[in-house]
Structure 1
Amino acid sequence: MTTSTSRAVPPRHRSAAGTRRRKPVRRGRLALAISLSLLLLVAAGAGWVYLKLDGDINTFDAGGLSDNRPAAGSSKGENVLVIGSDARNDGNAALGGGDVNDIGRSDTAFLLHVYADHKNAVAVSIPRDTLVTIPPCKLPDGKWTTAQPDMFNAAYSVGETAKGNPACTQNTVESITGLRVDHTVVVDFKGFAALTDVVGGVKVCVPQNVYERDLNPKRPTRGKLLFEKGEQEVSGQKALDYVRIRHGIGDGSDIGRIKRQQAFVASLMKEVKSNGLSPTKLLPLADAATKSLTVDPGLGSADKLISFAMSLKDIDLHNTKFVTIPWRYKGARVAIVEPDASDLWAALKADRTLDGKDASGKKKTSPSARPTAAATPVSGKGITVTVYNGTTVTGLAAKAATELTAAGFTVTGTATARSQDHATTVIEYGPEYRSKAQTVARAFPGAAVQPVPGAGINVVVGESYKGGSTASPQPTAIPKDVTEDARSADDNPCSNLTYG
């Protein structure tokens, strides 16, 4: 007894050979059906991958960002703050040692400015020991601190939690630079090690043999050899050890370590670029990175993160520069050099590269094009002013003085005001200088004008001043100490390691 359910084919549907004739359109439909099925499977798989990535991404509380931020859209470029965290929570102690409940700190930090033309970029490193004024920051209990002077890396530790405080570091960077940070990315030990593994290793240059005690100065013996002198590839734990070494290599300074970290990030970018920036290539990187990334809510999904990464694919390695904020030693710490730092921030805000080129992506206006309305420039010719910092934000008076000088004003000096609680800028003037004081006020929209018997013209900068408010200032040159010390992402890993 048969169980077959096949039915006899009527004779009119048989060929001379006795088999069923299949119409060509059926084969086409079958191929189409198979193709659509495969596409659905691929789409479902991609959807699963994106869903998985979304589940791995951690975001920090945007409620901790300051209400007193630089204006959005002041530059067409983007500013991305990258923080390397030495937090030991969430399995990081296995890679870095230490107490899992220890306070999270920022081991390294740089501000990446992606120019509006998306063909140029510059990363500005901020030494961890830099003396700054940390602005008000949100504590875990919801309260806010008051502004206080401290080292830069202390901002990440405000609140003394194991996971750290990225929002406070972002607030501090915005306060220092006057630039709005569009995105913040925190990479911990695990994420860093995973990234270097996925790209297959990163080329580095080691100036001397390095041993375990060089990584941990408290170790009683020299220990085993970690790195042999010379150029080599590192990944995973070894890559992490390389970027963390400070005391036993080069001159032992944090500045020296920054030099090596810049060279490392340049080599990492070179490896990623050589592998190709396509979604297929980016997914393994994203999978490795998102497991240990903490980002701002603006990058808090897989599509946003990968879309941002894809937007960087046209940036040339030679046009990607690494510099350090203008600095000098102040005892055992680092102080920001003004007005050099302000000149650097002004250049980034104007989307000017280190060599002075316009990278704003704006098309040059043709002679026949209709001119657009522009604000009337403020001319400071023949007007002498003194600038005072009426806030606790370091360098604000110097920043205002630089912009006033660029607009033609004569600045006799800068100083700290008698009180540092000025919310808005005030223009003080003696009765005979009223007209000139009103001209100065035009350079500070919203400023109050106040007569003071016996005074000349004083600008008391308030918290409302964020820089860039003077009308049509002339571009200032970026200091040579910054440009001459710059590293390109395509440089040899052994070059320009002055401190290493």
Structure 2
Amino acid sequence: MSARRAGAHGTVPTRGRRGRRIALWTTSTVVVLAVLAAGLVYYRLNGNLSTFGSDGVSKDRPDAASADAQGRVPVNLLLIGSDSRDGANKDLGGGQDDGARSDTAILLHVYADHRHAVGVSVPRDSLVDVPPCMLPNKTWTKPQTDVMFNSAFSVGNTAQGNPACTQNTVEKLTGLRIDHTMVINFQGFADMTKAVGGVDVCLPKAVYEGDLDPNLGRRGKQLFKAGHQSIAGQQALDYVRIRHGLGDGSDIGRTKRQQAFLSSLIKSVKAKGMNPVALLPLADATTKSLTVDEGLGSAQKLVDFAMSLKDVDLHDVKFLTVPWRYQGERVALVHPDADQLWAALKADRTLDGQDTTPASAAPSSSPSASPAATVDGAGIRVAVYNGTATAGLTGRAAEALEAAGFTVTGRANAASRTHTATLVEYGPGEKAEAQKVAALFPGATLEAGTRAGISLTLGADYAAGRGATAAPPVPTGPLPTSVSQARSADDDACSDLTYG
């Protein structure tokens, strides 16, 4: 018999067949190990994630978006950057007070075609109305009028913040239903930038320690050179937090740099490949510092959501700040520009006026469906008064008026807070203009006076939701330049980095 052993049936396996068997077993072992490894990673990620409960989300919410003819729906994701000093965040530059504030807030609208997306920054100092929000003891706050936007995240004064309250506030502000909310703190942000191997950024001039901390009292060492550079970890945090020494030193200028940073981050992620293998290390780096709503409360759901964005082209990812103006030391939102932006996103229209929804899926409309679409308030000045004890009415009514082109000259409480019906008062020769105001508030009473000027006094009918105005009309063309001039994710990192 040959020195080579015969097989079970007297055949002698060749070296090639034996090699293929070894290769097969090796490949099978690698596949099994890879599956087990992926399972362990998902298990670890699920353990890392924190979620916030849906019990704090308002029951009075905008309707969910409808699917198009192909069954696709747009998605609204609220991204919140927390400056909590909890845990390791204190060493990375977290807030110096107890609790947490929303240092950054971006509403990301992913269109139904999942090929376009718009990120809208809401300045933290914006004056907005905050609806009732749930406290840690499960009681609800009273609504607040004209308060800083970032105060919503601080309701309850906890180290984790109150993402549900911020979500409620954004839904009230925009009329858009938020599908998912994600909160990331300083530690998670730093880890995320390390996981992608750094992010390309740019600065118009060199930045020093004294620019990051004006209380330092000296220039300090250089933190950043001028021009392009790759940053990660603490450096990345410093970049997105710098205000002073650039432009007018405002939070608005910092918001521009945050948008540029996110654009570069998206480039880095897409360059590595939008697939689970590439995304898992990034998710692993961030989930320990991530709080999400229950709908995103697993690693699989997070990766699935990220994968749904793989076909979005960089040029079709836009970033902008909601139209704004300074109001003293705070920021006021500009109407009707802001209202037109929200209406366009609700209709899933792009900033250049394009409709991404197939014509067969577009909702039917008629001129009578939206009173705001048929009322032209251009050149008409109106003072708004709250004739009830319900807070927040003047802001809501003023937004509706400005969306229809009226100029709101003031907001205040009426001398009497017991009005049952909404009243429009007008001076000599102003009846036609007053009728236009009343058209936005069905059931309002008209009353002639002897003094010039038009005033709107809101009654209990308006507070109860009766006579509430319709949403602003859907824009049929490009939006105002305050909205349409947005940054694309493929823009040069050195462009549009400051304000003032």
Unaligned runs of 5+ in 2: 68-72, 426-434
2:230 is aligned to 233
**CA 1:74–1:328 in structure 2 vs 1: closer, same or farther (change >3 Å)?**
farther
Unaligned runs of 5+ in 1: 1-8, 366-370, 406-410, 431-436
1:105 is aligned to 101
Q: How many Å apart are 1:296 and its aligned residue?
A: 0.8
Q: Give the TM-score taking structure 2 as reference length.
A: 0.80
The count of residues paired between Structure 1 and Structure 2 equals 460
1:59 is aligned to 51
Q: Distance in 1 between matches of 2:28 and 2:253?
A: 56
Matches within 5 A, 1:333-482: 333-360=330-357, 362=358, 364-365=359-360, 374=364, 377-378=367-368, 392=392, 395-401=395-401, 449=443, 461-462=462-463, 464=465, 469=470, 475=476, 477-482=478-483
1:116 is aligned to 112
Contact 2:6 2:13 in 1 (8 A): no
1:202 is aligned to 199
Letter of the 2:353 counterpart: G
1:497 is aligned to 497
1:41 aligns with 2:41: no
The range that moved more, 75-84 or 390-399, is 390-399
Q: How many Å apart are 1:216 and its aligned residue?
A: 1.1
1:143 aligns with 2:144: no
Letter of the 2:138 counterpart: G
**CA 1:346–1:44 in structure 2 vs 1: closer, same or farther (change >3 Å)?**
same
1:176 aligns with 2:173: yes
Q: Give the TM-score taking structure 1 as reference length.
A: 0.80
Matches within 5 A, 1:11-50: 13-14=9-10, 36-50=28-42
Contact 2:375 2:404 in 1 (8 A): no
Contact 1:387 1:414 in 2 (8 A): yes
Contact 2:99 2:161 in 1 (8 A): yes
1:69 counterpart (52, 61, 67): 61
**CA 1:475–1:426 in structure 2 vs 1: closer, same or farther (change >3 Å)?**
farther
Matches within 5 A, 1:150-189: 150-189=147-186
Indicate the RMSD between aligned Cα atoms, in angstroms.
Answer: 4.0
Contact 1:384 1:457 in 2 (8 A): no
**CA 1:109–1:470 in structure 2 vs 1: closer, same or farther (change >3 Å)?**
closer
Letter of the 2:334 counterpart: V
Q: How many Å apart are 1:21 and its aligned residue?
A: 6.1
Q: Distance in 2 between matches of 1:259 and 1:228?
A: 18
Q: How many Å apart are 1:249 and its aligned residue?
A: 2.6
Larger of the two Rg values belongs to structure: 1
Q: How many Å apart are 1:464 and its aligned residue?
A: 4.6
Letter of the 2:103 counterpart: D
2:70 is aligned to none
Q: How many Å apart are 1:44 and its aligned residue?
A: 2.1
Contact 1:211 1:224 in 2 (8 A): yes
Q: Distance in 2 between matches of 1:11 and 1:298?
A: 58
Matches within 5 A, 1:252-331: 252-331=249-328
**CA 1:51–1:331 in structure 2 vs 1: closer, same or farther (change >3 Å)?**
same
Q: Distance in 2 between matches of 1:61 and 1:319?
A: 33
The range that moved more, 486-495 or 141-150, is 141-150
Letter of the 1:335 counterpart: A
Q: Distance in 2 between matches of 1:372 and 1:481?
A: 26
**CA 1:413–1:89 in structure 2 vs 1: closer, same or farther (change >3 Å)?**
closer
Contact 2:84 2:100 in 1 (8 A): yes
Letter of the 1:58 counterpart: S
